[in-house]
Amino acid sequence: MDANLINPIDHFLAESDLYFYGDNFWQAPLYKQVENLNIEQALWRPAEDKHCIWQLVRHLNYWKYWALKYTREGVMEEAKAFNWAPLPDDKSESNWKADTEKMKELHEEFKSLCLSLGERLLNSSDEKIVFLRTVLYHDSYHSGQIGVLRSLQNIKPVV
């Protein structure tokens, strides 16, 4: 076997990290877009009926959590019950930071579960595994929204 070939699972996990933490070609990394925002930036919204960055972070966290639970336990809970859960009553800097740290923890859990699935991660048509694998599409969609909200606030892009 060629020593330069990368195991497909390792490649998938490396690409996931490039997307989440940085140094990818296509877009600003998700975590870097939120990690240094203050509470005012996280709560800003262009109109009353639009989501703020903090709401998007909580939404992303929920679906990543749900994908992990669904894959591990096979439990089909009412997935949309907390789709857009309300922000905490205490809209503090510490609660905002806790949600961004939760985002990072969930990403690491995602990678761990993907690694434990081995070849099944990429070869399975099991609905639970497909859902887990494609949760990155959902993250990417909302990452673009976060980028737009940053831009509308004149926040310098991350690279």
Domains of the chain: 8-152 (1.20.120.450)
Q: What is the pLDDT of residue 155?
A: 97
The alpha carbon dihedral of 141, 58, 149, 27 has a sign of negative
Q: Rounded to an integer, what is the distance from CA 1 to the centroid of its chain?
A: 34
Residue 80 Ramachandran class (φ > 0 left, ψ -120 to 50 alpha, else beta): alpha
Q: What is the pLDDT of residue 112?
A: 97
Which helix (DSSP H) or strand (DSSP E) does residue 63 occupy? helix 53-73
Q: What is the pTM of this model?
A: 0.92
- What averages of pLDDT result for each successive group of 10 residues across the chain (159 residues)? 71 91 84 96 97 98 94 81 89 97 98 95 94 93 96 92
Q: What is the pLDDT of residue 5?
A: 58
